[in-house]
Structure 1
Amino acid sequence: MTKNVGGVDRTLRIVVGLALIAAAATGTIGLWGYIGVVPLLTGLMGWCPPYALLGFNTCSMKK
C-alpha cells in the first residue's frame, strides 16, 4: 500500500474522525457518529482505498 493521503488531508481526517467519535461517545449526535473511525483510520494509515481506486493522491512526491 503506497501512501496516497497527504499532510493537510491526513490532519483533517484525524480531527474530523476524533470529533465525530467524541460527539457519538457523549450522545450528542447518536451512534452514527462512530463512522468517524473510518476517517480516523485512513488519516492514521495515510492510505485511502477509494483514493487508490480512483487514482487520487494528495501526498507530495519526493524527487
Structure 2
Amino acid sequence: MPGIGGIEACRQIKQRHPEIPVLILTSHAQKALIERLISAGDQGYCLKGIAAATLV
C-alpha cells in the first residue's frame, strides 16, 4: 500500500473513528504481521486471492 501502510492506516482510522470496523485485505499471512494488525485495531483480515463470494 503506497503511503503510510496498512497498519498505520488502521491505527489512524481507529483513533479518528473508533466505531468504524476495519477489515484488512492482505497478501501476507505471517503471524507477527497479523498480530500487529489486530493490535492496531482491525476486526479481521482476509488474504488476497480469496474468492469474491467468500469475501462477501
TM bin, normalised by shorter chain, reads 0.3 to 0.5
**Structure with higher strand content:** 2
Q: TM-score, normalised by structure 1?
A: 0.34
Q: TM-score, normalised by structure 2?
A: 0.36
